Amino acid sequence: MQMQCYYQAEYEQAFQQLKSRLAELKVQLNGQAVEKINARFLRLNPEMALVIDSDGLSLAANGMKMQPDWRAEIPRLKRASLKSEMIARACQLGEKPSLIDATAGLGHDSLLMAYLGAEVRLVERHPILFVLLEYTKAQAEQDPFLKSFMSRIQLIYADSNSYLQQLVQHGEQVDVVYLDPMFPQRDQNQQAVKKQAQVKKQMQLLHLLLPEDGEMDLGDQLLHLASQIAKRVIVKRPRHAVYLADQSPDHQWLGDACRFDAYFPKG
Protein backbone atom coordinates (compact mmCIF):
# COMPACT_ATOMS: atom_id res chain seq x y z
CA MET A 1 0.00 0.00 0.00
CA GLN A 2 1.19 3.53 -0.81
CA MET A 3 0.08 6.89 0.59
CA GLN A 4 0.95 10.48 -0.23
CA CYS A 5 1.79 12.96 2.54
CA TYR A 6 1.99 16.74 2.25
CA TYR A 7 3.78 18.51 5.05
CA GLN A 8 4.93 22.00 5.79
CA ALA A 9 8.72 22.16 5.80
CA GLU A 10 9.00 22.82 9.54
CA TYR A 11 7.41 19.41 10.19
CA GLU A 12 10.08 17.38 8.39
CA GLN A 13 10.91 15.45 11.57
CA ALA A 14 7.27 14.57 12.18
CA PHE A 15 7.02 13.35 8.58
CA GLN A 16 10.08 11.10 8.98
CA GLN A 17 8.64 9.61 12.18
CA LEU A 18 5.32 8.98 10.45
CA LYS A 19 7.08 7.43 7.45
CA SER A 20 8.95 5.01 9.73
CA ARG A 21 5.80 4.09 11.64
CA LEU A 22 3.80 3.40 8.49
CA ALA A 23 6.66 1.33 7.07
CA GLU A 24 6.24 -0.94 10.11
CA LEU A 25 2.58 -1.28 9.08
CA LYS A 26 3.57 -2.15 5.47
CA VAL A 27 2.62 1.26 4.03
CA GLN A 28 5.00 3.22 1.79
CA LEU A 29 4.63 6.94 2.55
CA ASN A 30 5.66 9.35 -0.22
CA GLY A 31 6.28 12.84 1.11
CA GLN A 32 6.26 16.31 -0.39
CA ALA A 33 7.24 19.41 1.55
CA VAL A 34 5.09 22.44 0.72
CA GLU A 35 5.22 26.05 1.82
CA LYS A 36 1.68 26.39 3.11
CA ILE A 37 -1.19 23.94 3.48
CA ASN A 38 -4.42 25.92 3.36
CA ALA A 39 -7.92 25.59 1.89
CA ARG A 40 -6.69 26.57 -1.59
CA PHE A 41 -3.92 23.98 -1.51
CA LEU A 42 -6.38 21.26 -0.49
CA ARG A 43 -8.76 22.23 -3.31
CA LEU A 44 -5.91 22.09 -5.84
CA ASN A 45 -4.76 18.69 -4.50
CA PRO A 46 -8.03 16.77 -4.08
CA GLU A 47 -6.58 13.25 -4.05
CA MET A 48 -6.51 11.45 -0.72
CA ALA A 49 -3.38 12.16 1.31
CA LEU A 50 -2.09 12.62 4.81
CA VAL A 51 -1.31 16.18 5.87
CA ILE A 52 1.02 17.45 8.59
CA ASP A 53 0.60 21.13 9.47
CA SER A 54 -0.12 23.33 12.47
CA ASP A 55 -3.26 21.27 13.17
CA GLY A 56 -1.14 18.11 13.49
CA LEU A 57 -1.76 14.95 11.46
CA SER A 58 -4.89 14.84 9.30
CA LEU A 59 -6.42 12.91 6.43
CA ALA A 60 -7.35 15.07 3.44
CA ALA A 61 -9.35 14.58 0.24
CA ASN A 62 -11.69 16.59 -1.97
CA GLY A 63 -10.70 19.88 -0.35
CA MET A 64 -11.47 18.65 3.17
CA LYS A 65 -9.32 17.38 6.01
CA MET A 66 -10.18 15.59 9.23
CA GLN A 67 -8.61 13.93 12.24
CA PRO A 68 -9.95 12.02 15.26
CA ASP A 69 -9.92 15.16 17.41
CA TRP A 70 -10.36 13.90 20.96
CA ARG A 71 -9.72 17.30 22.48
CA ALA A 72 -12.79 18.61 20.68
CA GLU A 73 -14.81 16.02 22.67
CA ILE A 74 -13.89 17.52 26.05
CA PRO A 75 -17.09 19.63 26.40
CA ARG A 76 -19.19 16.51 25.81
CA LEU A 77 -17.13 14.53 28.32
CA LYS A 78 -17.55 17.22 30.97
CA ARG A 79 -21.33 17.05 30.54
CA ALA A 80 -21.43 13.26 30.56
CA SER A 81 -22.44 11.09 33.48
CA LEU A 82 -23.37 7.46 34.04
CA LYS A 83 -27.02 8.50 34.31
CA SER A 84 -27.17 10.90 31.36
CA GLU A 85 -25.49 8.74 28.73
CA MET A 86 -27.52 5.95 27.15
CA ILE A 87 -24.29 4.20 26.14
CA ALA A 88 -23.28 4.10 29.82
CA ARG A 89 -26.46 2.24 30.76
CA ALA A 90 -26.19 -0.12 27.81
CA CYS A 91 -22.56 -1.04 28.58
CA GLN A 92 -22.94 -0.91 32.40
CA LEU A 93 -20.02 1.51 32.62
CA GLY A 94 -20.69 2.02 36.33
CA GLU A 95 -19.15 -1.41 36.87
CA LYS A 96 -15.91 -0.30 35.14
CA PRO A 97 -16.04 -3.17 32.62
CA SER A 98 -13.33 -4.62 30.43
CA LEU A 99 -14.52 -3.62 26.98
CA ILE A 100 -13.49 -4.26 23.39
CA ASP A 101 -14.54 -1.69 20.80
CA ALA A 102 -14.23 -3.87 17.70
CA THR A 103 -15.23 -1.06 15.31
CA ALA A 104 -13.00 1.77 16.52
CA GLY A 105 -13.68 4.42 13.86
CA LEU A 106 -12.54 7.80 15.21
CA GLY A 107 -12.62 6.50 18.77
CA HIS A 108 -15.13 9.02 20.11
CA ASP A 109 -17.40 6.44 21.75
CA SER A 110 -14.40 4.64 23.27
CA LEU A 111 -13.10 7.96 24.59
CA LEU A 112 -16.41 8.54 26.37
CA MET A 113 -16.56 4.97 27.71
CA ALA A 114 -13.01 5.16 29.05
CA TYR A 115 -13.77 8.52 30.68
CA LEU A 116 -16.76 6.94 32.43
CA GLY A 117 -14.65 4.08 33.76
CA ALA A 118 -14.28 1.31 31.18
CA GLU A 119 -10.97 -0.34 30.32
CA VAL A 120 -11.16 -0.14 26.53
CA ARG A 121 -9.35 -1.93 23.75
CA LEU A 122 -9.84 -0.18 20.39
CA VAL A 123 -9.28 -2.54 17.50
CA GLU A 124 -8.53 -0.99 14.09
CA ARG A 125 -7.32 -2.81 10.98
CA HIS A 126 -6.67 0.07 8.56
CA PRO A 127 -3.08 1.35 8.90
CA ILE A 128 -3.90 4.97 8.04
CA LEU A 129 -6.77 5.21 10.50
CA PHE A 130 -4.66 3.40 13.09
CA VAL A 131 -1.81 5.96 12.89
CA LEU A 132 -4.37 8.76 13.10
CA LEU A 133 -5.68 7.18 16.30
CA GLU A 134 -2.13 6.73 17.62
CA TYR A 135 -1.40 10.38 16.95
CA THR A 136 -4.56 11.67 18.59
CA LYS A 137 -3.99 9.45 21.65
CA ALA A 138 -0.44 10.82 21.97
CA GLN A 139 -1.86 14.35 21.81
CA ALA A 140 -4.49 13.47 24.41
CA GLU A 141 -1.76 12.20 26.76
CA GLN A 142 -0.40 15.77 26.81
CA ASP A 143 -3.77 17.32 27.60
CA PRO A 144 -4.39 18.25 31.27
CA PHE A 145 -7.96 16.93 31.20
CA LEU A 146 -7.65 13.87 28.96
CA LYS A 147 -4.37 12.46 30.26
CA SER A 148 -5.92 11.28 33.52
CA PHE A 149 -7.72 8.38 31.81
CA MET A 150 -5.61 7.67 28.71
CA SER A 151 -4.14 4.64 30.50
CA ARG A 152 -7.58 3.03 30.19
CA ILE A 153 -7.36 3.10 26.38
CA GLN A 154 -5.30 0.53 24.48
CA LEU A 155 -4.97 0.69 20.69
CA ILE A 156 -4.69 -2.65 18.89
CA TYR A 157 -3.71 -2.90 15.23
CA ALA A 158 -5.64 -5.92 14.02
CA ASP A 159 -8.56 -7.10 11.95
CA SER A 160 -11.42 -7.37 14.45
CA ASN A 161 -12.62 -10.61 12.90
CA SER A 162 -9.22 -12.26 13.38
CA TYR A 163 -8.68 -10.66 16.79
CA LEU A 164 -11.97 -11.91 18.21
CA GLN A 165 -11.35 -15.36 16.72
CA GLN A 166 -8.03 -15.48 18.59
CA LEU A 167 -9.76 -14.57 21.85
CA VAL A 168 -12.33 -17.31 21.25
CA GLN A 169 -9.55 -19.84 20.66
CA HIS A 170 -7.71 -18.76 23.82
CA GLY A 171 -10.88 -18.85 25.88
CA GLU A 172 -10.55 -15.22 26.91
CA GLN A 173 -13.64 -13.49 28.30
CA VAL A 174 -14.47 -9.78 28.55
CA ASP A 175 -17.38 -7.93 30.07
CA VAL A 176 -18.52 -6.09 26.92
CA VAL A 177 -17.92 -6.11 23.18
CA TYR A 178 -19.12 -2.90 21.56
CA LEU A 179 -20.00 -2.79 17.85
CA ASP A 180 -20.80 0.29 15.80
CA PRO A 181 -20.58 -0.93 12.18
CA MET A 182 -19.63 1.89 9.85
CA PHE A 183 -21.88 0.96 6.95
CA PRO A 184 -25.41 0.25 8.16
CA GLN A 185 -27.01 2.13 5.24
CA ARG A 186 -27.29 -0.97 3.08
CA ASP A 187 -30.04 -2.35 5.30
CA GLN A 188 -32.11 0.77 5.96
CA ASN A 189 -35.15 2.06 4.17
CA GLN A 190 -34.57 4.54 1.35
CA GLN A 191 -35.47 7.60 3.41
CA ALA A 192 -32.85 6.70 6.02
CA VAL A 193 -30.28 6.13 3.29
CA LYS A 194 -30.95 9.55 1.84
CA LYS A 195 -30.64 11.20 5.22
CA GLN A 196 -27.44 9.28 5.94
CA ALA A 197 -25.93 10.70 2.75
CA GLN A 198 -25.72 14.11 4.42
CA VAL A 199 -22.86 12.95 6.60
CA LYS A 200 -20.25 15.16 8.16
CA LYS A 201 -16.93 15.62 6.42
CA GLN A 202 -15.28 13.26 8.90
CA MET A 203 -17.52 10.44 7.79
CA GLN A 204 -17.23 11.39 4.12
CA LEU A 205 -13.45 11.03 4.34
CA LEU A 206 -13.71 7.80 6.33
CA HIS A 207 -15.98 6.35 3.66
CA LEU A 208 -13.37 7.25 1.03
CA LEU A 209 -10.62 5.66 3.09
CA LEU A 210 -12.62 2.56 4.02
CA PRO A 211 -14.67 1.54 0.99
CA GLU A 212 -17.41 -0.95 1.63
CA ASP A 213 -15.69 -4.23 0.94
CA GLY A 214 -17.57 -7.05 2.52
CA GLU A 215 -19.25 -8.42 5.60
CA MET A 216 -16.53 -7.14 7.95
CA ASP A 217 -17.82 -3.59 7.70
CA LEU A 218 -21.40 -4.66 8.35
CA GLY A 219 -20.42 -6.50 11.51
CA ASP A 220 -22.56 -9.63 11.03
CA GLN A 221 -19.69 -12.02 11.69
CA LEU A 222 -18.45 -9.87 14.56
CA LEU A 223 -21.73 -10.31 16.40
CA HIS A 224 -21.34 -14.08 16.26
CA LEU A 225 -17.75 -13.96 17.51
CA ALA A 226 -18.44 -11.35 20.19
CA SER A 227 -21.21 -13.50 21.61
CA GLN A 228 -18.65 -16.21 22.36
CA ILE A 229 -16.35 -14.04 24.51
CA ALA A 230 -18.52 -11.34 26.12
CA LYS A 231 -21.05 -11.20 28.92
CA ARG A 232 -22.92 -8.63 26.85
CA VAL A 233 -22.63 -7.41 23.27
CA ILE A 234 -23.83 -3.87 22.57
CA VAL A 235 -24.56 -2.80 18.99
CA LYS A 236 -25.09 0.84 18.12
CA ARG A 237 -27.50 1.31 15.21
CA PRO A 238 -29.37 4.11 13.49
CA ARG A 239 -32.80 4.07 15.12
CA HIS A 240 -34.62 2.56 12.11
CA ALA A 241 -31.92 0.16 10.89
CA VAL A 242 -32.63 -3.56 10.77
CA TYR A 243 -31.03 -5.80 13.39
CA LEU A 244 -27.40 -6.75 12.94
CA ALA A 245 -27.17 -10.23 11.36
CA ASP A 246 -31.00 -10.25 11.45
CA GLN A 247 -30.73 -11.21 15.11
CA SER A 248 -33.30 -9.77 17.51
CA PRO A 249 -31.67 -8.23 20.60
CA ASP A 250 -32.46 -9.24 24.17
CA HIS A 251 -32.90 -5.60 25.19
CA GLN A 252 -32.85 -2.14 23.61
CA TRP A 253 -32.19 1.45 24.60
CA LEU A 254 -33.86 3.88 22.17
CA GLY A 255 -32.71 7.42 21.44
CA ASP A 256 -33.97 9.99 18.95
CA ALA A 257 -31.44 9.18 16.22
CA CYS A 258 -29.85 5.92 17.30
CA ARG A 259 -30.44 2.93 19.51
CA PHE A 260 -28.35 0.40 21.41
CA ASP A 261 -29.21 -3.27 20.90
CA ALA A 262 -28.04 -5.59 23.68
CA TYR A 263 -27.32 -9.30 23.39
CA PHE A 264 -26.73 -11.38 26.50
CA PRO A 265 -25.02 -14.61 25.42
CA LYS A 266 -26.43 -17.61 27.22
CA GLY A 267 -24.16 -19.18 29.78
3-state helix, strand, coil in the chain (%, to 5): 45, 25, 30
Q: Mean pLDDT score of the chain, rounded to an integer?
A: 89
Is the same domain home to 175 and 225? Answer: yes
Q: Determine the pLDDT at residue 220.
A: 80
Q: Determine the pLDDT at residue 221.
A: 87
pLDDT at 198 over 60: no
Domain boundary among 29, 48, 66: 66
- The C-alpha atoms of residue 101 and residue 53 are separated, in whole angstroms, by 30
pLDDT-derived band at 201 (thresholds 50, 70, 90) equals low
Is the same domain home to 60 and 85? Answer: no
Length of the chain measured in residues: 267
Is the same domain home to 103 and 169? Answer: yes
The whole-model pTM stands at 0.88
Flag whether 35 is marked binding.
Answer: no
Is the same domain home to 181 and 207? Answer: yes
Is the same domain home to 220 and 88? Answer: yes
Question: Rounded mean pLDDT of 135-149?
Answer: 97
Q: Determine the pLDDT at residue 214.
A: 42
pLDDT-derived band at 266 (thresholds 50, 70, 90) equals confident
Flag whether 180 is marked binding.
Answer: yes
Beta strand segments in 151-193, E = 153-157, 174-179
Flag whether 141 is marked binding.
Answer: no
pLDDT-above-70 percentage for the chain: 89
Is the same domain home to 37 and 76? Answer: no
Question: Rounded mean pLDDT of 81-99?
Answer: 96
Give me the domain span that covers residue 47: 2-66
Domain boundary among 32, 47, 66: 66
> pLDDT by residue (tens digit) across 203-233?
778 778 876 544 344 578 899 999 999 999 9
* CATH code of residue 11: 3.40.120
At 206, which amino acid appears? L
Is 141:134 a contact under the CB 8 Å cutoff? Answer: no
Q: Give the number of other Cβ atoms within 10 Å of residue 28's Cβ.
A: 10
pLDDT at 195 over 70: no
Is the same domain home to 62 and 82? Answer: no
Domains: count for the chain: 2
